[in-house]
Amino acid sequence: MKILKKIKQLIIFTLIIFVVKFSYANNLEYVIKGIQDYYETRPLIAQIKDDIEQNPTLADNYIELAYIYDLLKLYPEEIKTLKKAILYYADGREGRDLLFRSIAECYIKLNKWSKAKPYIEKALTLNPDNLDVKISLAEYYINVQDLDAVAKIMKDISKTEKTRDVYYELYMYLLGNYNNFGPIIKVFEKCVNLDPDNYMARRAYGVSLRWLGDVNDLRFEQALQELRKSLELNNQYIPTYISLADTYMLRSFYRKDKDYLKYTAEWFEKAYKIKPDDVRLSYAMGNFALYREDYDEAIKKIEYAFDNGFKDIQVLDLLARAYNNKAYSYYEKGEKFEEGLKYIEEAINIKPYDGIIIGTKAELLFKLGKIEEAYKFIKKALELEPENKDIQASYKMIEDVMKKDKLKKDKNIK
């Protein structure tokens, strides 16, 4: 089955950077292994709990368990576990501030802001230079609608932090927590007014103005103006070129007008001339190729990004989409089914519990005449995606052929 275009997933997350929540937990290992849900975490949870029972004063065991709870979004359990970790975490040990910050983040996700603030403040007391904790404090002030405080914190951070685009990180946080663009625009309007010559603030403001492309012409032009202003302040900053390209791609999607895509291509070409080996750019261009259904180019670009250091869960997710859609294109064309299976296995290695991807494998097997094997996989796909109409239809088709084959065999035996 083709994974349909989901514009928010395909475009909005172009530059999400996977932030390692615990510096002492190997997050990427979990991502690559595909531990994405309860299927694979159950035995891991049991194992860690057993380790805790054997050694109840080892803080690292609680930290590992808390990380799994975070993956599963079991925030109350994560809070309890992190508090246990703090009890046994040596006072002078590096990273103690991260535990308090992680508890604060749990409370924020549970919308318990008053409980979050003391943990933010404690984390800052332990490590006044912790950038992520400062951003959490900015998030707190957004919640209590003190936007002047937000702008001041962000400006102070940007004075010393030159490698991370903290303004864009804040934008991504807001995007995940607000259903309309009004509050987000107000935040970055304050930031730009306080720090008008900050190209990162300008870029975040421009991206907030464009929203998801579904804005009026005036707002769209304002967004482009802010993004161009960002480039005037720093014409070597590749993420701004990507934001301009994405802005036109979003506009194309919502206006259903492919003419905008030529501007997307132009901005990518400009960025590529400046820094052709930029992994963020390669990922974004792969995303664009996937949107255009150029699966070979998408796979090439996304693989390059991942292989050269952009080891992000969203990169892997997009790569799985590209592999799946390439495999399904063979199914649609009625050719090279064995080749399609090679691509689908790559997708399954990344997302072993994705019903749509497993459904694609079933359909390819069906085309190869491997009916019983196809039935096994389509049944699994339906268990994972019981409401998916395409999978339901494929299940019925394969099941019907299975029944007919069985009738023929029974007649032959008689």
In the structure encoding, which two tokens stand for residue 298, read together?
């998408």
What per-residue confidence (pLDDT) applies to 411? 66
Asked whether 327 and 347 are in contact (CB, 8 A), the reply is yes
Enter the DSSP assignment of 260: G
Q: Please report, in angstroms and rounded to a whole number, the separation of the first and last CA atoms in the chain.
A: 39
Q: Which of 294, 349, 326 shows the shortest CA–CA distance to 2?
A: 326
What per-residue confidence (pLDDT) applies to 121? 95
What per-residue confidence (pLDDT) applies to 311? 84
What per-residue confidence (pLDDT) applies to 5? 54
What per-residue confidence (pLDDT) applies to 21? 29
Give the pLDDT mean for 192-206: 97
Domain segments of the chain: what residues?
Answer: 1-144, 145-276
What per-residue confidence (pLDDT) applies to 403? 86
In the structure encoding, which two tokens stand for residue 82, read together?
């992190």
> pLDDT tens for residues 131-150?
889 999 998 999 889 999 99
pLDDT higher than threshold 90 for residue 27: no
Amino acid identity for residue 318 in this structure: L
pLDDT higher than threshold 50 for residue 348: yes
Whole-angstrom distance, CA of residue 90 vs CA of residue 74? 26
> pLDDT tens for residues 203-241?
999 999 998 888 899 999 999 999 999 999 999 999 999
What per-residue confidence (pLDDT) applies to 407? 78
What per-residue confidence (pLDDT) applies to 413? 60
Bigger pLDDT: 31 vs 345:
345
> pLDDT tens for residues 141-180?
998 899 999 999 999 999 988 889 999 999 988 888 777 7
- Give CATH for domain 1-144: 1.25.40.10
Neighbours of 313 (CB within 10 A): 17
What per-residue confidence (pLDDT) applies to 390? 93
Enter the DSSP assignment of 259: G
Q: What is the CATH architecture assignment of 145-276?
A: Alpha Horseshoe (1.25)
pLDDT level of residue 91 (50, 70, 90 thresholds): confident
Asked whether 138 and 103 are in contact (CB, 8 A), the reply is no
pLDDT higher than threshold 50 for residue 130: yes
> pLDDT tens for residues 267-298?
999 999 999 999 999 999 999 999 999 999 99
**For residue 12, how many C-alpha atoms fall within 13 Å in the half-sphere facing its CB?**
16
Q: Which of 37, 12, 65 shows the shortest CA–CA distance to 178?
A: 12
pLDDT level of residue 87 (50, 70, 90 thresholds): very high
Strands annotated E in 154-196: none
CA angle 115, 120, 126 (to 5 degrees): 135
Distant-in-sequence, close-in-space partners of 369: CB < 8 Å, separation ≥ 6? none
Whole-angstrom distance, CA of residue 132 vs CA of residue 120? 10
> pLDDT tens for residues 243-260?
999 999 999 999 999 999
Longest dimension (CA), the chain: 87
Percent above pLDDT 70 for the chain: 89
What per-residue confidence (pLDDT) applies to 405? 77
pLDDT higher than threshold 70 for residue 192: yes
**For residue 178, how many C-alpha atoms fall within 13 Å in the half-sphere facing its CB?**
20
Identify the three-state secondary structure at position 281: helix
What per-residue confidence (pLDDT) applies to 35? 40
248-264 b/e (C-beta count within 10 Å ≥ 16 → b):
bbbbbbeeeeeebbebb
Percent above pLDDT 90 for the chain: 71
pLDDT higher than threshold 50 for residue 36: no
pLDDT level of residue 13 (50, 70, 90 thresholds): very low
Q: Which of 17, 266, 305 shows the shortest CA–CA distance to 164?
A: 17
pLDDT level of residue 6 (50, 70, 90 thresholds): low
What per-residue confidence (pLDDT) applies to 414? 53
The kind and range of the H/E element at 254 are: helix 238-255
Give the pLDDT mean for 120-128: 94
What per-residue confidence (pLDDT) applies to 173? 85
DSSP result, 36-50: -SHHHHHHHHHHHHH
